[in-house]
Structure 1
Amino acid sequence: MGEGSMMKQENRSFCNRHVGEPCKAFGRKCSRLVQEQRARFYILRRCVIMLICWHDYGDS
C-alpha cells in the first residue's frame, strides 16, 4: 500500500465522519419536526371531529 492511497483513505474517512454528522443531525431534526406536526394535526383533527359530533347531537 502506497503513501498516496493511505492518504486518500484517511481523507475519505475524515470526510465521511465530519460531513455525515450534520446530515444525521439535520435528519433527526426534520423527523422530530414531522412527528411534532403529525401530533398537532392529530389533536386538531380530533377536536374538529368532537366539535362536529357535539354540534350534531347536542341539539337533540
Structure 2
Amino acid sequence: MAATVVFSCISSTKVRTWKRCSKQIKEQRARLYIIWKCAVFLLSSSHD
C-alpha cells in the first residue's frame, strides 16, 4: 500500500498532489511505527 502511494506521488507533477501524498506517507509511516512498536513489545514480553 505504501508503495502505491509513493508511486502515485512520483507519477504526479502537481504540487498540491505532492503535499497530499506527503501527508499520506507520513500517516502510513506513523501507523507502521506503532505496529512495529507493538510487535517488539509483544515479542519482548513473551520471553519473560
The TM-score with structure 1 as length reference comes to 0.57
**Aligned AA for 1:23?**
K
Partner of 1:47: 38
Paired residue total: 36
Bigger relative CO (Cα 8 Å, ≥ 6 apart):
2
Percent same amino acid among aligned pairs? 31
Q: How does 1:22-37 map to 2 (within 5 A)?
A: 23-37=14-28
Deviations 1:4-54 (A, max 9, x none): xxxxxxxxxxxxxxxxxx811100000000000000000000000000011
Runs of at least 5 residues in structure 1 that lack an aligned partner in the other structure = 1-21
The TM-score with structure 2 as length reference comes to 0.70
Higher helix share: 1
Structure number with bigger Rg: 1
**Aligned AA for 1:24?**
V
Which 4+ residue blocks in structure 1 deviate beyond 6 angstroms?
none
